[in-house]
């Protein structure tokens, strides 16, 4: 009997969530946002630029795979592995499929994140301290069935988190960091039950996190989590195994530290904040981790009898450790949501342990709130899409025309069919949820997860052309090419890495730092915002402005196009003076 547990669960409440339904839900979440979307500004596009520079270096140049560059600048995140994976797939991509192939490793990493979170919650729920109360005459939930039901609930809680949607569908180091942090979480959670698999997961997670630009986070998560697991192991017969596990982990840490030192990945990037900045951190956590954080807080309250000795109970200690480390990292790195992304598996795990303690009234409130919220969001997406297609209602159509000037909507039968099918599936799910059926402890997370997946799928289908128009550089590059023609080379001065990546991807040109005009590179582009700083240098090199290409939907961002001045002497690039970026 486990007298300290607040979970009172009968066997009838841990029935299996249909695997096909869970698989379809995860597929409907993973694919939209990766498939059919253009690279968006800025980090998504910059990451693609680094991959392109590695996979397709300029003629006469050799790519430095240990120090990727874009426009001659190094990656400030010091990430290597995500760029390596994308560049390798780019080398196999047929023409026109470069962005799709570059995203394939990231699609796999998001799927691996979901699987790792499921196995982590499953293993934590198998711990004796996490098991429900034993009934006097039997009938309590069986350990394996109880753990599987909680794992299903934890996965649903992760899918429901608002902060996961966009960042987890961009081919950036943030997603690879999330994936490898989840592997560490799963590996620590399954120790010592699956020692071999746990060791592989922890080793791969720590090394991958190190090569993804977060070596210090890998050290803290791996070593701290292992110490918590070792301290929490109360069986004296496991003492030698604990020492062996910690020794192996120490070797993994040494390997990661050596790798980070050899590749010069260590950087001190701490930003100091005042107590007034706690308000910004609190707001970020409130919306980014919604709706999992209220359940996580409820879980800590209901399991409070174990909190005084949390290090003895890994189902509380490990999620709290991961949340603490990643929250501290967020605080120390400029309140970045990419750092807070790593906390979501831990928050989802805590949310799962709230499910067997929810009262009927609280469960009903979650259901009705999420039903109304996501139904309203889906209805809004549909109404605005109809307004874009037909002009009615007039006000949403006018707002779209104002916010996205130049956007021309197109009707796609396939897109409409996918969105309609997802909406009908949501309606069926709502009907099932409000109907009479046997209760299951994961039922309270079905509507939040399905609603989040529905809204994301609708945005990535019905609104995808509009979002591409607003966040892509493609239309601006097309305008630029109308002036420069099919020139294979462009000189640049004062452009951002995202703009450079857009030119590499959309225009497929060779970029050269600004110098005097030449026959091989007869055009120069510049970010309009840097014109006051570089105007005199550019004019001295013999360039004159001829056109301007605006980014649709953002008149503040545009590229100036320069051609050689009629009196300028065309010189070979080797003898030209450098203007600098």
- CA–chain centroid gap for 312, Å, is 32
- Is-cis flag, bond preceding 6, omega within 30? no
Beta strands in 230-357 (DSSP E): none
Residues 344 and 380 in one domain: no
Closest CA to 314 of 477, 141, 191: 191
Residues 192 and 233 in one domain: yes
Residue 38 lies in a domain: no
DSSP state of 32: B
- CA–chain centroid gap for 385, Å, is 26
CA distances from 501 to 39, 50, 176, 562 (A): 10, 8, 20, 19
Beta bridge partners of residue 564, listed in sequence order = 543
Other CB atoms within a 10 A radius of the CB of residue 19 amount to 9
| Structural domain for 237, as ranges | 109-357
Contact 312, 288 (CB under 8 A): no
Residue 291 lies in a domain: yes
Residue 30 lies in a domain: no
Contact 189, 120 (CB under 8 A): yes
DSSP SS3 for 546: strand
**Amino acid 232: pLDDT:** 65
Contact 131, 1 (CB under 8 A): no
Residue 77 lies in a domain: no
Backbone angles phi, psi at 510, to 5 degrees: -95, 130
**Amino acid 275: pLDDT:** 63
Distance CA 443, CA 149 (A): 10
Residues 454 and 507 in one domain: no
Beta strands in 54-195 (DSSP E): 69-70, 73-74
Residue 58 lies in a domain: no
Residue 34 lies in a domain: no
Contact 311, 228 (CB under 8 A): yes
Residues 181 and 293 in one domain: yes
Closest CA to 466 of 395, 557, 552: 552
**Amino acid 227: pLDDT:** 81
Residues 503 and 525 in one domain: yes
CATH of the domain at 491: 3.40.190
Residues 194 and 290 in one domain: yes
Burial classification of residue 227, based on how many CB atoms lie within 10 Å of its CB (0-12 exposed, 13-18 middle, 19 or more buried): middle
Residues 488 and 464 in one domain: no
Burial 239-258 (b: 16+ CB within 10 A, else e): eeebeebeeebeebbeebbe
Residues 115 and 245 in one domain: yes
**Amino acid 580: pLDDT:** 42
Closest CA to 499 of 515, 517, 485, 511: 511
Q: Out of 320, 335, 357, pick the residue that ends a domain.
A: 357
**Residue 542 backbone class (left: φ over 0; alpha: ψ -120 to 50; beta: rest):** left
Residue 510 lies in a domain: yes
Residues 527 and 516 in one domain: yes
Closest CA to 323 of 293, 364, 365: 293
- CA–chain centroid gap for 230, Å, is 31
Residues 527 and 392 in one domain: no
Residues 353 and 382 in one domain: no
Count the domains in the chain: 3
Q: Out of 330, 357, 384, pick the residue that ends a domain.
A: 357
Distance CA 387, CA 390 (A): 5
Q: Out of 305, 327, 357, pick the residue that ends a domain.
A: 357
Instruction: Give the residue carrying structure tokens 């790593």.
Output: 342
Distance CA 155, CA 170 (A): 20
Q: Nearest-5° angle of CA 529, CA 475, CA 512?
A: 55
Tokens representing residue 521 in the block? 């590179």
Contact 343, 326 (CB under 8 A): yes
Beta strands in 17-114 (DSSP E): 69-70, 73-74
Residues with pLDDT less than 50, the chain = 1, 570-581
Ordered DSSP codes for 554-565: EEEEEEEEEEE-
Residue 31 lies in a domain: no
Residues 453 and 538 in one domain: no
């Amino acid at each position: 009997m486990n007298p300290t547990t607040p979970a009172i669960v009968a066997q009838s409440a841990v029935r299996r969530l249909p695997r096909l339904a869970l698989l379809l839900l995860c597929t409907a979440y993973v694919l939209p946002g990766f498939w059919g979307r253009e690279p968006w500004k800025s980090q998504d596009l910059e990451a693609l630029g680094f991959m392109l520079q590695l996979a397709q270096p300029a003629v006469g140049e050799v790519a430095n795979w240990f120090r990727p560059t874009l426009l001659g600048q190094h990656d400030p995140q010091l990430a290597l592995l995500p760029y390596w994976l994308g560049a390798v797939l780019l080398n196999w991509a047929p023409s026109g499929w470069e962005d799709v192939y570059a995203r394939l490793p990231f699609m796999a990493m998001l799927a691996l994140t979901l699987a790792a979170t499921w196995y982590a919650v499953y293993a934590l729920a198998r711990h004796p301290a996490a098991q429900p109360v034993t009934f006097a005459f039997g009938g309590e939930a069986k350990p394996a069935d109880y753990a599987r039901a909680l794992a299903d609930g934890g996965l649903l809680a992760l899918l429901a988190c608002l902060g996961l949607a966009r960042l987890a569908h961009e081919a950036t180091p943030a997603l690879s960091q999330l994936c490898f942090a989840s592997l560490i979480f799963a590996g620590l959670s399954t120790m010592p039950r699956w020692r071999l698999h746990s060791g592989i997961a922890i080793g791969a997670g720590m090394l991958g996190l190190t090569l993804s630009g977060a070596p210090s986070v890998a050290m803290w998560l791996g070593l701290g989590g292992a110490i918590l697991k070792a301290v929490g192991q109360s069986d004296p017969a496991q003492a030698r195994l604990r020492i062996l596990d910690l020794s192996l982990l120490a070797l993994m840490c040494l390997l990661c530290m050596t790798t980070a030192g050899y590749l010069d990945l260590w950087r001190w990037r701490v930003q100091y904040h005042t107590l007034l900045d706690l308000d910004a951190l609190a707001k970020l956590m409130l919306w980014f981790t919604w709706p999992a954080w209220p359940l996580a807080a409820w879980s800590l309250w209901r399991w409070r009898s174990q909190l005084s000795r949390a290090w003895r109970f890994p189902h509380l200690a490990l999620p709290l450790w991961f949340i603490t480390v990643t929250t501290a990292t967020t605080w120390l790195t400029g309140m970045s949501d990419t750092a807070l992304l790593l906390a979501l598996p831990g928050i989802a795990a805590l949310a799962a342990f709230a499910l067997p303690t929810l009262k009927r009234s609280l469960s009903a409130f979650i259901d009705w709130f999420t039903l109304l919220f996501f139904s309203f969001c889906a209805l809004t997406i549909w109404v605005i899409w109809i307004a874009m297609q037909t002009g009615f209602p007039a006000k949403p159509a006018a707002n779209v025309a104002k916010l996205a000037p130049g956007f021309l909507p197109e009707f796609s039968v396939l897109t409409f069919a996918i969105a309609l099918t997802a909406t009908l599936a949501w309606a069926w799910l709502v009907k099932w949820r409000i109907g009479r059926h046997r209760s299951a402890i994961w039922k309270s997370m079905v509507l939040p997860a399905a609603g989040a997946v529905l809204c994301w799928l609708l945005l990535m289908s019905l609104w995808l052309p509009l979002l591409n128009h607003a966040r892509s550089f493609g239309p601006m590059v097309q305008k630029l090419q109308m002036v420069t023609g099919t020139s294979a080379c462009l000189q640049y001065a004062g452009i951002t890495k995202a703009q450079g990546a857009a030119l590499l991807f959309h225009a497929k040109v060779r970029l050269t730092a600004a110098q005097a005009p030449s026959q091989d590179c007869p055009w120069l582009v510049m970010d309009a915002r840097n014109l006051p700083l570089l105007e005199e240098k550019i004019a001295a090199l013999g360039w004159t402005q001829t056109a301007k290409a605006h980014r649709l939907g953002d008149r503040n961002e545009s590229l100036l196009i320069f051609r050689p001045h009629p009196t300028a002497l065309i010189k070979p690039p080797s003898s030209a003076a450098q203007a600098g970026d």
